[in-house]
Amino acid sequence: MTESTRTALITGASRGLGLVIARVLGTRGYSLVIGGRDRDALAAAAAELSNDAHVRSNLIDAAHTRGGLDVLVNNASELGAIGPLVDFDIPRFGRLFPVNVGAPMVLTQLALPLLAERRGLIVNITSDAATAAYPGWGPYGATKAALELLTRTLASELREQGVSAVLVDPGDMRTRLHQEAFPEITAPFWNWLFDQDPDSVRGERFAAQHEDARWLQQA
């Protein structure tokens, strides 16, 4: 299958990192299915990326119309309140985990038949907050730690179906300023990642901005 016929689905693609990933994939000839919560920003992103970009409430149906799915990028997440755990409103876990962990798993389940047809790649966006235990970032970090474990489990479970899964920590994006300033410098990493055979990166965790990251050593 030629690259020009490939399709990628990216959530949270209206701005920041998701938009950068969509741009990279668009320049590589992928047909794009993009999702986001800000309709105006999403429409602007779609207009910039491609006249053929599908912006639909049912993302999987949109992928079906493009003939299949090669890459699923679960980028959308919710930061939630920042503050010490002793003051955290515990019921808010009931929102953070469904958004940051449940939603990527649901979309993965729905996309799996399409991904299996093309031996596709699942990219789940994580954070250093999953491992660094930053004060005030515990709830968000807990959701990303859970996502990391589930992603590694998926990578093992989906081997027989030919679908790979990887984790990517894009670097410091813990404020709106960081989200606006840093994503563009991750573009070389994304180009490297999408050059790889999905099976060769199965279950890996990559740091997109680190100078000593293993992906740079392999580039």
Domain boundaries, the chain: 3-218
Q: What is the pLDDT of residues 185-194, one digit of tens each?
A: 889 999 999 9
pTM comes to 0.85
pLDDT of 1 reads: 39
Burial degree of 189 (CB within 10 A; 0-12, 13-18, 19+): buried
User: 19-23, 94-98, 112-116, 160-164: which range is least confident on average?
Assistant: 94-98
Q: What is the rounded distance in angstroms from the CA atom of residue 127 to the CA atom of residue 137?
A: 11
Q: Is the pLDDT of residue 104 over 60?
A: yes
CA–CA gap between residue 119 and residue 47 (Å, rounded): 29
38-86 confidence digits (pLDDT tens): 555 545 655 665 554 444 347 888 888 888 999 999 999 988 888 999 9
Superfamily of domain 3-218: NAD(P)-binding Rossmann-like Domain (3.40.50.720)
